[in-house]
Chain A
Amino acid sequence: MKKQVRIIHYRQKCIGCNACVEAAEQRWRMSKKDGKSVLLGSKEKKGIYSAIVNEQEYESNLEAAKNCPVNIIKVEIIEKG
């Protein structure tokens, strides 16, 4: 069983404050198009973005989720067989 991390981003409510980029630079970028943050390597479904990433990224993205002032980032550990 391999542990992986699922990051979910409810992007619509992003206020573009840059906090997620500061916490997990390798996973987040600010879009110059609409000023909101982008979850790199994510797939979109009905406006919700999600990405499955390596376990090593858990802590920095948990920090991003914690720091998000509008609570639109969720981070969870998933088991993949």
Chain B
Amino acid sequence: MEKLELMAPAGSFEALMAGIKAGCNSVYFGVEQLNMRARSSINFTLEDLKEITQIAKENNIKTYITLNTIVYDHDLRLMREIVDAAKESGINAIIASDHAVLNYCRKINMPAHISTQCNITNIEAVEFYSAFADVMVLSRELSLKQVADIVREIKRREITGPSGELVRIEIFGHGALCMAVSGKCYLSLHSHNASANRGACIQNCRRSYIVIDKEEGYELEIDNEYIMSAKDLCTIDFLDKIIDAGVSVLKIEGRGRSADYVYETTKCYREAIDSIYEGTYTQEKIEAWKQRLSTVFNRGFWDGYYLGRKMGEWSKEHGSSATKKKIFLGTGRKYFDKIKVGEFVMETHSLKIGDEVIITGPKTGVVKTKVEEIRVNDVPVNEVHKGTVFSIKVPEKIYPSDKLYKWVDVVQEKPITTEINS
């Protein structure tokens, strides 16, 4: 039986390495401006492709480029350049939604995946796109039963992609959900001229709103001001059902997220997938994974539409409900391989024994550790402050200029709620 492929987001080299370290099977990322995170993620350039595929080869993972915005005539040349460069550098596939991209991929025999932007919700659509793609991301609004029916029908009808293999189905497993069907949202374009479908979403849906009757001027009583902000998708507690449905690829959303987010979410899902195949997927473990997932950015979790909910669940707060946050401390100077010690300069704040730290960098990805000993000029100390050069034990190799953060609990403040009276 084919094992579920875990796909991690890579918005930077840090995030790419974090996903790899956490055990992803593949990564996806944007190049230049034609992708859905043109605004919020740094995005790689065409020059980076060779390095990325080299890293992927060394770590035995697949690489996919998202090229899934609306495409205009003036974009065609850049689009073709990206696809050509992807093919030349050995990128495994292009994730596309515009027919121009799919058409070009087919012309030059570059494998393509159908983006969730195409809103595939039925078997006939799968059959239609099978002329262009071997992997299809289904609409995020389907129930798991609908997903399972589509997979079963692909096998029954023997629908194959350009490679001659049966079409494989991918779904979103974790991360932010759009309030509009398959990301087809025009709010941001309407209010700020920033088209979500060109990767410039301003995220109007994440803001709080009041509803006022225009005729008589009274405010409607609503129990949640964040009326459009969907909670984040989390499927870790029913991953076994996703595997049973015959899904081949599980995507973690978050190209705009930090490396430590990618590391923690990918690691939790890696462990969960492995435990299902090993037969050790327990409620106890699920609770522990959920607790770990809630330490990084999240808007509260819900199970999306997979279990057949009628309506979305809405976040009650602005921004993240993460239970942990990172505080920047300083940068790395040296790493002593033999004794596994890293030397840093404390640029701000302080650090004491017992603190948890995160180190991130483009080659390092993410390293997490607990401080058990601090040395200044080789003398053990209990605490270090701004301006000091110090060293701590670091279990894995890190590099100069890597960033050191303290990983602390977030003191949850009570959200300010305003009573709305009619």
Contacts and interface: CB of A to CB of B under 8 A. Distances in A.
Whether both chains belong to one complex is answered with yes
Interface of A: 14-19, 30-36, 66-70
Interface string B336-369: 0000000000000000000000000000000000
Contacts of A67: 193
A16 B33 CA distance: 7
Nearest to B188: A69
Interface of B: 32-34, 38-39, 72-79, 192-195, 198-200, 202
Given A14-B33, A16-B33, 16 more contacts: A15-B38, A15-B39, A16-B34, A17-B195, A30-B74, A32-B74, A32-B76, A32-B77, A33-B77, A34-B77, A35-B32, A35-B34, A67-B193, A69-B194, A69-B200, A70-B38
Nearest to A66: B193
A18 B72 contact: yes
Contacts of B72: 16, 18, 30, 35
Q: Is the contact region of chain A dominated by helix, strand, or loop, or is it mixed?
A: loop
A67 B74 CA distance: 19
Nearest to B70: A17
A49 B48 CA distance: 25
A15 B78 CA distance: 12
A16 B74 contact: yes
Contacts of A35: 32-34, 72, 74-75, 77-79
A2 to B, nearest CB: 32
Contact of B78 (A19, A34, A68): A34
12 contacts: A15-B39, A15-B199, A18-B72, A18-B74, A32-B73, A32-B74, A35-B34, A68-B193, A69-B39, A69-B192, A69-B194, A70-B39
B193 A36 contact: no
Contact of A17 (B76, B78, B198): B198
Given A15-B33, A15-B38, A15-B200, A69 B195 contact: yes
